Amino acid sequence: MDIIVLRPDTPEEGIRHVLKKLESKGLKATISQGTERTIIGVIGDTSKITEEEEDAIRAMEGVENVVRILKPYKLASREFKKEDSEINVKGNIIGGKKIPVMAGPCAVENKTILMNIAEKVKEGGATFLRGGAYKPRTSPYSFQGLGEEGLRYLADAREKTGLPIITEIMDPRDMDVIIEYADIIQIGARNMQNFRLLLEVGSVDKPVLLKRGLSATIKEWLMSAEYIMSRGNQNVMLCERGIRTFETATRNTLDLSAVPVLKKLTHLPVVVDPSHGVGKWDLVAPMAKAAVAAGADALIIEVHSNPEEALSDGEQSLKPDMFAQLMKELKPIAQAVGREI
Amino acid sequence: MDIIVLRPDTPEEGIRHVLKKLESKGLKATISQGTERTIIGVIGDTSKITEEEEDAIRAMEGVENVVRILKPYKLASREFKKEDSEINVKGNIIGGKKIPVMAGPCAVENKTILMNIAEKVKEGGATFLRGGAYKPRTSPYSFQGLGEEGLRYLADAREKTGLPIITEIMDPRDMDVIIEYADIIQIGARNMQNFRLLLEVGSVDKPVLLKRGLSATIKEWLMSAEYIMSRGNQNVMLCERGIRTFETATRNTLDLSAVPVLKKLTHLPVVVDPSHGVGKWDLVAPMAKAAVAAGADALIIEVHSNPEEALSDGEQSLKPDMFAQLMKELKPIAQAVGREI
Amino acid sequence: MDIIVLRPDTPEEGIRHVLKKLESKGLKATISQGTERTIIGVIGDTSKITEEEEDAIRAMEGVENVVRILKPYKLASREFKKEDSEINVKGNIIGGKKIPVMAGPCAVENKTILMNIAEKVKEGGATFLRGGAYKPRTSPYSFQGLGEEGLRYLADAREKTGLPIITEIMDPRDMDVIIEYADIIQIGARNMQNFRLLLEVGSVDKPVLLKRGLSATIKEWLMSAEYIMSRGNQNVMLCERGIRTFETATRNTLDLSAVPVLKKLTHLPVVVDPSHGVGKWDLVAPMAKAAVAAGADALIIEVHSNPEEALSDGEQSLKPDMFAQLMKELKPIAQAVGREI
Amino acid sequence: MDIIVLRPDTPEEGIRHVLKKLESKGLKATISQGTERTIIGVIGDTSKITEEEEDAIRAMEGVENVVRILKPYKLASREFKKEDSEINVKGNIIGGKKIPVMAGPCAVENKTILMNIAEKVKEGGATFLRGGAYKPRTSPYSFQGLGEEGLRYLADAREKTGLPIITEIMDPRDMDVIIEYADIIQIGARNMQNFRLLLEVGSVDKPVLLKRGLSATIKEWLMSAEYIMSRGNQNVMLCERGIRTFETATRNTLDLSAVPVLKKLTHLPVVVDPSHGVGKWDLVAPMAKAAVAAGADALIIEVHSNPEEALSDGEQSLKPDMFAQLMKELKPIAQAVGREI
């Protein structure tokens, strides 16, 4: 059901034009003529009205506003599927009572460092190992990741620790090689609306962690999830990682209210990345706790054994002992909200 | 210590001009002439350089940037006072181990409703009663508050329940009457940079709750606290209540990372208002929990016995039983972070 | 006419509750029951539904959204008054074919400097003299203005040059003295929602220049104009001066699209302040030209004879010769859009 | 030249650590020990310090801030190349005295419509034909473009009208086919930080129009230009198309101050897209005029012969006669700023 608001000066012909268009879609309309506005209520399955048709109606003479009542996403919507989705990755459930934690370095730098971190985060209580082999960097002169070599190191670390791995894809042409190694494929914030890449991960049989774009509304984010799901892959988790605002005291503004908002709108699991959200290691622990208290289904945290030597994002990485300490401190909070960690 | 960056094309005369200015302030300068930039390091008590002098230096020919190293606020700064400030309001400490909760209606509407809510929030575990007698409303046609009558009702409710009261001031001309009734004076978000009002509350002997402006940076917010403190009143608490961003799923974006950031920068207590932060009652509980987990020193929450009949902000008010339930659920989280509630 | 959207799970009782409320206001309702949403169309003079009643309806169980069709402002609206408002200040029309330019220093510093600047901007072609006697400064340690002494200097400058003066009010308690001197009263960006101050300037017989708040939507800005007009003073002009965004290359982001948007929504004149909008003197000229091309009715520009010595905002001030040059360059642009300067 | 700010509590060892790191890069350091901060000035070619090394320094104990003096982009910088770059596309110069206008539909829908529009915009005075064959759409259920078929229609239209064509690339895998048809390749706002795509267009011999990301700072935007240029392709033009802010009255907020800011920072031509910037056809003309007045080197404007039937962005498209009218009205403004159109 949709609503079209017309100004009093709308020509009769304009109204007829709108009505004919609706009819051609098999939709019915009720007209309420007020003194100041005329309102057309559209009855029937208005999800048939596409985005471009909505735009076209907006472009018509006399049309002041089009109010869409139904959400533009379906598969991702809580109305479509009432119960929480659980994603099973090699026996680890994301979206269940237990809150899994994905930890590791921002970028895979070399085998020794990665192995060391992997063992440390495993000891600390992590359930997944994170690490980037392909890195989106704002500068072309920065370290861009080890590529497939990095993926092999991740696989080695998985073999040693038993931790499934999550790693980022940046280019559809890397799909074949990434799929060979990754347990969860990550779509980074800068690619949240790289629609071709979304369609690509929608066509494979691997869980996807979809990070929120820097200035993406929750609605746009869910539309990007819908892109993936529309291709068949239903195993999508949403990861809040901070949005861009005017505040510069933190790298981004971690929007924790997105967690309960998403829990209302969608059945998909919600992950929080406090490391990118704040960008400073000493703010990570309080925000990780807040994320759990707000209802997050999982966390993803940067850990590096030697942040001062990290090739990427050292500023926001926890050292392994801080990570282990944080994991302990998260336990009673998880319990307080009926979860486990 | 400050730094002035000059472009290579800066005329010699310009550099001499800057140096003379610094000398006249009793400051010394070191010059590092690089091939691409010249850098003047200013040594001495650079806090003597006022904002307007900084602007003037920026306006000079050849000056590319001025980097100020010291923070522009002093009294509010953690460097000035290392230990946490505690504010004692009739025996209730804000900034101590216990987390006080301020609860009540957005606006005082009439005596019966207020009394009823006051008793309910007291039962639920609140330590302060909140309620506005003077209300900032975006529309001139909206309910603007009962004024002094409202203050009297608040005083009656305090007498009955023993809860000290917090209420908002909007106009320096109301100071005399507000001071007669209020235990804590609130400066609303829209008045965070009403500098005259800040000076006014700085001159009285009542604790002040200073809400963050809708688009205020943390630095500007602390400068507004400094305004109050510069007049003598050191009992200032800072209240995060959401900032304005592009996201419309929530009324504002509650910036919980401001809590640990402030804990680093200032000794003043930090309060969180989840009700205004999100604007929807069903998001209040998760965000209140997250606020406590993030390290908030106090909470301020809207409670109304009949939100559908509220004259202001009904959409974001908890009913008394939900409030009582929330208070119970907050206890283990407070405990998990070494606090009590 | 308004629309209320209900979820399918809304209890019958909830719907009856809403209907009774509407009836009590003398409003009629049409109900369209769809499979996914129920929509209540409200017929009659829905402007009777206040902001707080809207909030209350939103707070009801089952209510998903309330869509208000009519604008919340009336007196300021183009629907209320079709033709452009012209404000006559001592024979100078704001909102007519000619584009007046208000120029002068940010703050009045001393008589000699002010006199000098006033004569220079007069020569350059300005029609008003701007200058602040009461200055809102983010730091309590910055120059706060000369107060009444500054107003006297402005009056002296007016006498000498014949330029009417515009100056800012920050505190309702200064009204008597300001009204004695000012030809136009300015409400600064930080006071756009200082509602008490708005009511105060609404009650006097002086034109008001209302600056846009740092993060004010155009709707909120028009509501603030409505505050002033609701008290009787219809001589309000709106001044775009840049909004706060994530971009730090400029002091603010000058939202020039606000000019044509306002021209559609309101009959009030639209002024642009490129100096505060960009915060750097070398960006002022291109943005002043763009403002005229976009349809601005007037400009307000900072000019200082010696920006490096200015006590406020030197960085964004033009020198008098640059100002005179700009005035020449603006002429053909004004002509190109059917105006004069 | 860079500056590192250390807190007074920085361990001696930390300082030595930083110094050793700098030495290993062949850089020298000067230390100024103040009472409140210690400042390390880094002398030498600090462009050798990569982003990740900067991050690592920030991660060190005691480090409060790292201030980078030099810009992180080189090839794109005005310091690297003083004179304006001109891009020659089949004899049409972008970045010269004449302001070319790129016009056409948002998406290529079918051959007849495209041919019609192409002829109309040619008549109206356009110098390039725009049209998308691959369309980024927020919904997977929206029209995604005709693909290669669309490119063929564009080529047909070029043949008929002589207008060179500009069209968007979304996926590196489409490069071969796009390069066969396009005269200018467009990178859309959502792909501004699709770094792989940037590298790809950097490797081909076609001019690139790089749109600003929705929440990209000017610095990040120039870094994306640098990505392209670092691969060899120097023919990059930057296109302002509106940024995301809190304001909802327009689709985006067109940041026209970016035009003069870019003119200072870079030698690359600056294009403005008023259609996407405002999102409403009746705001396009005033903003196109403002763009020219602000110094834009080119415009890109959506034109559709039948906006109500457009499959994409009809709301913001001009009809051909309005476009022709606008072109006429732009002439005197271009002239007023020393340009031609």
**Tell me: the pLDDT tens digits for B26-53?**
888 888 777 778 888 887 777 777 777 7
Taking the Cβ of residue C337 and every Cβ of chain A, the question of whether any pair is shorter than 8 Å is answered with no
In a 3-state reduction of DSSP, which class is residue D89? strand
| CB distance B166 to B207 below 8 Å | no
Of C36, C69, C70, the CB nearest to A1: C36
- Tell me which CATH homologous superfamily contains domain C2-68: Phospho-2-dehydro-3-deoxyheptonate aldolase; domain 1 (3.30.70.1140)
DSSP C231: T
Find, in chain B, the residue whose alpha carbon is nearest to that of D246.
Answer: B246
Least confident range from B255-269, C13-27, D180-194: namely C13-27
Q: Which chains have at least 3 CB atom pairs separated by less than 8 Å from chain D?
A: A, B, C
Q: What is the pLDDT at residue A105?
A: 95
Q: What is the pLDDT at residue D306?
A: 85
CB contact under 8 A, C215 and D295: no
CA atoms of B268 and B224, how far apart (whole Å) = 13
Region A57-75: mean pLDDT is 84
Of C258, C287, C337, the CB nearest to D294: C287
CB contact under 8 A, D1 and B69: no
- Chain B hits for A260, CB-CB cut-off 8 Å, are 278, 282-283, 286-287
The per-residue pLDDT for range B190-243, each reduced to its tens digit, is: 999 999 999 999 999 999 999 999 999 999 999 999 999 999 999 999 999 999
Region A125-148: mean pLDDT is 93
Q: Which chains have at least 3 CB atom pairs separated by less than 8 Å from chain B?
A: A, C, D
Q: Going by CATH, does the domain composed of D87-336 fall within 3.20.20.70?
A: yes
Query: What is the rounded (10 degree) CA torsion for D19, D22, D24, D27?
Result: -120
- Chain C hits for B227, CB-CB cut-off 8 Å, are 140
Q: What is the pLDDT at residue A96?
A: 97
| Residue whose structure tokens are 């009700």 | B275
Q: What is the pLDDT at residue C1?
A: 60
| CA A218 from centroid of its chain's CA atoms | 9
Residue C116, pLDDT > 70, answer yes
Strands (E), C147-191: 165-169, 184-187
Taking the Cβ of residue B199 and every Cβ of chain A, the question of whether any pair is shorter than 8 Å is answered with no
Of D1, D34, D248, the CB nearest to B36: D1
Residue B1, pLDDT > 70, answer no
Region C26-35: mean pLDDT is 80
What are the beta bridge partners of residue C318? C303
| CB distance B101 to B128 below 8 Å | yes
CB contact under 8 A, C52 and B142: yes
CB contact under 8 A, C140 and B230: yes
CB contact under 8 A, C32 and A1: yes
Spatial CA neighbour of A70 closest among C19, D142, D138, C35: C35
Of D32, D70, D246, the CB nearest to B30: D32
The per-residue pLDDT for range A277-331, each reduced to its tens digit, is: 999 999 999 999 999 999 999 999 999 998 877 767 778 899 999 999 999 999 9
Would you list the domain boundaries of chain A? Answer: 2-68, 87-336
CA atoms of D253 and D246, how far apart (whole Å) = 9
Helix axis angle for B195-202 and B218-230, nearest 10°, is 50
CB contact under 8 A, A314 and D227: no
The per-residue pLDDT for range C253-270, each reduced to its tens digit, is: 999 999 999 999 999 999
Q: What is the pLDDT at residue C225?
A: 98
Of D34, D43, D67, the CB nearest to B67: D67
Of B246, B255, B293, the CB nearest to A247: B255
Spatial CA neighbour of C5 closest among C46, C34, C45: C34
The per-residue pLDDT for range A290-305, each reduced to its tens digit, is: 999 999 999 999 999 9
Chain D nearest CA to A60, separation (Å): 6
The per-residue pLDDT for range A162-209, each reduced to its tens digit, is: 999 999 999 999 999 999 999 999 999 999 999 999 999 999 999 999
Chains B and D: how many Cβ contacts under 8 Å?
51
CB contact under 8 A, B139 and C196: no
Tell me whether domains D2-68 and D87-336 share a fold: no
The residues in C 25-54 lying below 8 A from A, measured between CB atoms, are 30, 32, 34, 36-37, 39, 41, 43
Residues shown for chain D: 341
Rounded to the nearest integer, the mean pLDDT of chain A is 92
- Chain C hits for D335, CB-CB cut-off 8 Å, are 332, 336
Find, in chain A, the residue whose alpha carbon is nearest to that of C64.
Answer: A69
Q: What is the pLDDT at residue D205?
A: 96
How far from C10 is each of B40, B69, C13, C79, D190, CA to CA, in Å?
68, 57, 8, 36, 39
pLDDT band at C7 (very low <50, low <70, confident <90, very high): confident
Q: What is the pLDDT at residue D1?
A: 60
Region C289-310: mean pLDDT is 92
Interface test with C, best of B58, B135, B248, B311 (most C CBs within 10 A): B58
The per-residue pLDDT for range A73-95, each reduced to its tens digit, is: 999 999 899 999 999 999 999 99
CB contact under 8 A, D51 and A139: yes
| Residue whose structure tokens are 């300067």 | C341
Q: Which residues of D141-163 are buried (b: 16+ CB within 10 A; e: fewer)?
A: bbbbbbeeebbbbbeebbeebeb
Q: Give percent of chain B above pLDDT 90.
A: 72
Q: What is the pLDDT at residue D11?
A: 80
pLDDT band at A223 (very low <50, low <70, confident <90, very high): very high
Q: What is the pLDDT at residue B131?
A: 96
Spatial CA neighbour of C312 closest among B64, B55, B196: B55
Chain C nearest CA to A244, separation (Å): 7
Amino acid occupying residue C202: G
- Chain B hits for A243, CB-CB cut-off 8 Å, are 245-247, 253
- Chain C hits for D243, CB-CB cut-off 8 Å, are 245-247, 253
In a 3-state reduction of DSSP, which class is residue B110? coil
- One digit per residue, the tens of pLDDT, for chain D of length 341 reads 688 888 877 888 878 888 888 888 888 888 877 777 888 888 777 777 777 778 778 877 788 888 888 788 999 999 899 999 999 999 999 999 999 999 999 999 999 999 999 999 999 999 999 999 999 988 898 888 999 999 999 999 999 999 999 999 999 999 999 999 999 999 999 999 999 999 999 999 999 999 999 999 999 999 999 999 999 999 999 999 999 999 999 999 999 999 999 999 999 999 999 999 999 999 999 999 999 999 999 999 999 998 877 767 778 899 999 999 999 999 999 999 999 99
Q: What is the pLDDT at residue C139?
A: 87
Residue A56, pLDDT > 80, answer no
Taking the Cβ of residue C147 and every Cβ of chain B, the question of whether any pair is shorter than 8 Å is answered with no
Chain A nearest CA to D25, separation (Å): 14
The per-residue pLDDT for range C95-112, each reduced to its tens digit, is: 999 999 999 999 999 999
Q: Give percent of chain A above pLDDT 90.
A: 72
CB contact under 8 A, A246 and B289: no
- Chain C hits for B317, CB-CB cut-off 8 Å, are 59
Beta strands A184-187 and A208-211, pairing class: parallel
| CB distance D202 to D224 below 8 Å | no
Taking the Cβ of residue B296 and every Cβ of chain A, the question of whether any pair is shorter than 8 Å is answered with no
Residue A1, pLDDT > 70, answer no
The residues in C 210-239 lying below 8 A from B, measured between CB atoms, are 214-215, 220, 223-224, 226-227, 230-231
Chains A and D: how many Cβ contacts under 8 Å?
151
Taking the Cβ of residue A56 and every Cβ of chain D, the question of whether any pair is shorter than 8 Å is answered with yes
